[in-house]
Amino acid sequence: MNKIIISPSILSADFANLERDIKRVEDAGADWLHIDVMDGHFVPNITIGVPVTASIKKIAKLPLDVHLMIENPDKYIEPFAKAGADIITFHYEAIDNDDDIFKLISYIKSFGIKAGMSIKPKTEANVCFKFLDELDMLLVMTVEPGFGGQKFMEDCAEKVKLIREKNKNIIIQVDGGINNETCKICKEYGVNSLVAGNYIYKSDNIAQAINSLK
C-alpha cells in the first residue's frame, strides 16, 4: 500500500515525438504508461486505437495501462489485449447491467492481464462495491473524462475513502487534475495509483514532477 504507482498519460505527450516522450517518462521513473482510448461517443473526443497501442507496445518498456472511454468495450477487449495492454479499464457507465460487468471482468482476466473499472464524477462510489473483490483496479475520475488539463474535483476524490474502506488491497487510481498538491489529498483518502498528464509532460523537469507525486 505504500508504493504509489505513477502512470503518465500520453494524452499530454507530443504525438509527433511519441517514442521520445515515452522514453522521457520511462527514464524519469514512471511505473506504467496510461493510454486514453476515446471513441467520440462515450466521451466527446477521439484519441488513439488498437494500431497505435500495438506500436507503443513495441517501443515501451513499461506496462500499458489502457483506459477505454468507449461504448461497447466488450468488443475491443481482445484487440487491445493482443495489442499489448497489461491492464484494461472499462467504464461502469458503458455497461447495462451487473451481470455483464462481472462477465467483462472475467473476460479481461482470461487474457492474463489486469482488469480495471472506472467511474465518472457523477457516479456514486457504492455502485462499484460489489465488484471490488473481482477487480484488480478501480479508477475514480476526478474530472469529466474526455479532455486533459481540467480542474481537479475534490468531491470525486472523496469517493476513494469509501472504496478503500471496502477493500484494503485493490489498486485505486485517480485521473484528472493531478499535480503535487492534489495528489496529497488523493493519497490521504487511500489512492495508490496516480494518472497525470499535463503536470508531468508540461514540466521543465519530468523526473522531479514524477518524484513529487511519489
Catalytic positions, written as ranges: 36, 175
| Residues facing 193 on adjacent strands | 5, 173
Specify the DSSP class assigned to residue 135. -
Contacts of 184 (CB under 8 A, 6+ apart): none
Q: How many CA atoms lie within 13 A of 59 on its CB side?
A: 13
Q: Which of 122, 116, 110, 14 is nearest to 63 (CA)?
A: 116
Burial of residue 44 (number of CB atoms within 10 Å: 0-12, 13-18, 19+): exposed
116 to each of 76, 92, 165, 206, how far by Cα in Å?
14, 10, 18, 27
Question: What is the SS3 assignment for 194?
Answer: strand
Tell the residue number behind the cell numbers 474530472, with chain if given.
143
Query: Would the CA dihedral through 122, 108, 60, 40 be positive or negative?
Result: negative
Cell numbers 457504492: residue? 126
